[in-house]
A and B are shown apart, each in its own frame.
Chain A
Amino acid sequence: MQDYEVFLQQLITGLSNGMIIALVALGYTMVYGIIELINFAHGDVFMLGAFLALTLLGALGMEAWPSHWQLAGVAIMLLASAGFCGCLNWSLDRVAYRPLRRASKLSLLVSAIGCSFICTNLGLFWGGMPMEVFAGGVAAAAPKDFPQLIPQFNILGESAIRIVPADVAVLVVTVPLMIALVYLVKRTRLGRAMRAVAQDATAAALMGIPVDRVIGITFFIGGALGGFASVVYALYNNTIGFQMGYRAGMDAFTAAVLGGIGSLPGAVLGGLTIGCVRAMSDQYVETRWTNTIVFGILILILIFRPSGLLGSTRREKV
């Protein structure tokens, strides 16, 4: 491999990983934008989405399906996980956050941490399900193999640079979702209501906007994005585990803060930045320094631009 090929390859890897991080980061940033809560449970909701996908895959026996049917299977998993994660996130808001709306932000945060623990343990429990795809459920805490539904070959043929269909899948799922989201927030009535609630919930309520419902919908959309991300993650990495939510959540949260929490383009930019920095650091520095470098950059940016890359000082939220 030539030097420029190595660089391009790392860029592709970085962008693919970054896209997945960005999709999860959007869920953080949306919820933060509207009620200024860091929804710690978001990463774990994402993890449960992947577990649902694997359960469906096993229950429907998708591995044995002919390859074009498997694509339909992927679509089923995407929709099911998105719906499931959306509903789960909405329920968390309804049960654990909404009653605390008037309490201090700190109580809300503690409640979110609690939800995160509950979801993590739910995942641990789920992993022990006696199904073939969970390796019989004997080792509940062990990482689970997620079958390769998307074939592994180099789209570029014999080229030294390698793009596998999974890379394309990441792109095909995430980019339309991001565009749809921006359209929803900027152009629709619902989006306008969300922005209004974000700016001033009391004023929005006075104008007749059902604030709690709008917040609930925001949670649903954020969760659904996490659900989409979970299936993409599972197809890309081929491994899921009940702890994956912690790590993915950490990366995504960092991305959201880096881009400016509350800003949608910021979350995407933050995700892509972290993905690429990771890849470049793995290549040109050393893997063991990667985390240090990512968080070093985060600290530097926050020192010089406390509101993040795209976060504006006048808090435009959602």
Chain B
Amino acid sequence: MKKQPLFALALVFTSAMTAVTLAQSTETKGTLTIISSLPRTGSANAQTTTIVNGIKLAIAEVNGQVDGWTIAYQDLDDASPQRGNWDGALEAQNANAATKDPSCVAYIGTFNSGAAKMAMPILNRAGIVMVSPANTYPGLTKPGKGEPNEPMVYRPSGKINYFRIVPTDDLQGVQAADWAKQLGAKKVFILHDRELYGKGIADVFQAHAKTISVEVVGFEGTDSKAANYRSLVTKIKAVSPDLVYFGGTTQTNAGQIAKDLRTGGYEGMYMVPDGCFEQAFIEAAGDSNLNDKTYITFGGLPADQLLGRGANFREAYRAKYGGDPEAYAAYGYEAARVVLQAIANAKTMDRAGILAAVAATRDFDGVLGKWSFDANGDTSSQVLSGQTVTNGKFAFVKVLGG
């Protein structure tokens, strides 16, 4: 038994030596840096840690090198403890740091659509390609789906530098409303957190609910810092909806709303979008408040449903990190792979060359099957899924739409 630590030490030493030798023997052409900016402080951390792991996994798969270029990776935080959520000032700071780092060629982020709004114009001016693993607010890319000046307001240089690999909320909100109807909801009460993402998806949900003749009995913005929502729950109960939809995230108090709905004696269904598709949501709400009456939509498939390349990712992830990836980890991995492939295909090894190569991504063999970027920078993938919560765990229910 005594010899084991020594042996382990020797092993570490040898492998460290090998690493050094490897780095010395390979002539590298230089270093290219990928920067990610995600909320690493607060309850989103559990989710973003698995995203960062996904990115690291993709880089490790190519041994940190592409065509003789060393790939460096920097993990930045865009959340502050004061907000416990993303912070626009920090996001702008991260984007500026990326533009000032001459080796930075790609920016993976952001997690929150509101944060993307801050980073996009800064990175656009610098011509750095930005790939988001999680933003779903449609106005960031799609003309006519958001404010009148969107998305051109995010593209001061006139060129497109922002891409995302998740289906957007103009699909998710519609699918959510359809699913609500299938679940038997005739009257819905819609809440939103007044953020870009939450209000955006709630608007889509409301618009579609009306067209499929589901009655919308209320539409309200909430105070995401409130201690409780009991009076709001009374107001909701007074109009007796079958389903309450909350456009928001764990960080904007989706869990507390679930708690107060149950405490207040509401017995109907509760539906939330992908911003709540993380273990932290169940922890915040308490599983007994969610069980079997809570529905979560997500633009993609949960890790345990992934097939093919996605399944390979899941197994590699488990082997390397010893736990299950959260929903967006696969997209972190995917985003990094898109960037790495672009570096391999780039005609010129600079920001412009890599940006052009990302834009040219077609028939990418991804975790959700083959997809391409369209002219707006959106993925062609339209796979969405619905889940519920059973015994404190997310349980996949079905693929939505499609």
Which A residues fall within an 8 A CB radius of B?
1, 6, 9-10, 13-14, 16-17, 121, 124, 135, 138-139, 141-143, 145, 147-148, 152, 154, 162, 164, 166, 233, 236-239, 241-244, 247-248, 278-280, 282-283, 286-288, 290-291
Contact = CB atoms under 8 A, between A and B. Distances in A.
Given A13-B231, A166-B263, 17 more contacts: A1-B238, A9-B234, A13-B234, A139-B43, A141-B45, A142-B43, A142-B280, A143-B284, A152-B262, A237-B228, A238-B263, A239-B256, A247-B227, A283-B234, A287-B221, A287-B223, A287-B232
B259 interface: yes
Contacts of A9: 234
B82 A243 contact: yes
B234 A288 contact: no
A282 B263 contact: no
B225 interface: yes
Contacts of A141: 41-43, 45, 81, 84
21 contacts: A1-B237, A6-B234, A13-B234, A17-B230, A124-B81, A139-B42, A139-B45, A141-B41, A142-B43, A142-B284, A143-B256, A143-B284, A145-B285, A162-B264, A164-B263, A237-B228, A239-B284, A241-B84, A247-B227, A287-B222, A287-B232
A225 B259 CA distance: 26
Nearest to B287: A145
B230 A13 contact: yes
A264 B280 CA distance: 41
Given A141-B42, A239-B259, A233 B232 contact: no
Nearest to A236: B228
A10 B238 CA distance: 11
Contacts of B238: 1, 6
Interface string B266-304: 000000000000001001111000000000000000000
A239 to B, nearest CB: 5
A238 B221 contact: no
A283 B45 CA distance: 35
A280 B234 CA distance: 11
Contacts of B194: 288
Q: Which 3 A-B pairs have the closest CB atoms?
A: A142-B43, A282-B231, A279-B231
Where chain A touches its partner, the secondary structure class is: helix
Contacts of A152: 262-263
Interface residues of B, number: 36
Query: Which of A16, A143, A283 has most B Cβ within 10 Å?
Result: A143
B393 interface: no
Contacts of B280: 139, 142
B263 A247 contact: no
A287 B259 contact: no
A8 to B, nearest CB: 10
A14 B43 contact: no
A16 B263 CA distance: 14
Contacts, number: 106
Contacts of A242: 81
A138 B280 CA distance: 11
A308 to B, nearest CB: 23
Given A142-B84, A143-B255, A238 B223 contact: no
Interface in B82-123: 82, 84
A156 B194 CA distance: 36
A226 to B, nearest CB: 15
Nearest to A153: B265
Contacts of B283: 135, 142, 145
B210 interface: no
B158 to A, nearest CB: 36
A243 B256 contact: no
A17 B263 contact: no
Contact of B45 (A16, A138, A147, A164): A138
A290 B226 CA distance: 11
Nearest to B219: A286
A162 B265 contact: yes
A237 B220 contact: no
B235 A237 contact: no
Nearest to B283: A135
B220 A288 contact: yes
Contact of A143 (B43, B226, B228): B43
B44 to A, nearest CB: 8
Contacts of A282: 231-232, 235
Nearest to B263: A152
A278 B226 CA distance: 11
A13 B260 CA distance: 12
B141 to A, nearest CB: 28
Contacts of A287: 220-223, 232
Contacts of A138: 45-46
Contacts of B45: 138-139, 141-142
A10 B231 CA distance: 6
Interface in B58-87: 81-82, 84
A93 to B, nearest CB: 26
A166 B231 CA distance: 15
Contact of A244 (B222, B227, B230, B237): B227
Given A145-B286, A154-B265, A290-B223, A10 B42 contact: no
B284 A291 contact: no
Contacts of A283: 231, 234-235
B221 to A, nearest CB: 4
B228 A17 contact: yes
Nearest to B286: A145
Contacts of B262: 152
A279 B45 CA distance: 33
Interface in B224-266: 225-228, 230-232, 234-235, 237-238, 255-256, 259, 262-265
A130 B284 CA distance: 17
A238 to B, nearest CB: 5
A53 to B, nearest CB: 16
Nearest to A286: B220
A205 to B, nearest CB: 41
A243 B259 contact: no
A242 B80 CA distance: 13
A309 B265 CA distance: 35
A139 B46 contact: yes
Contacts of A278: 231
A142 B45 CA distance: 9
Nearest to B230: A13
A279 B220 CA distance: 15
A16 B260 CA distance: 14
B86 to A, nearest CB: 12
Contacts of A279: 230-231, 234
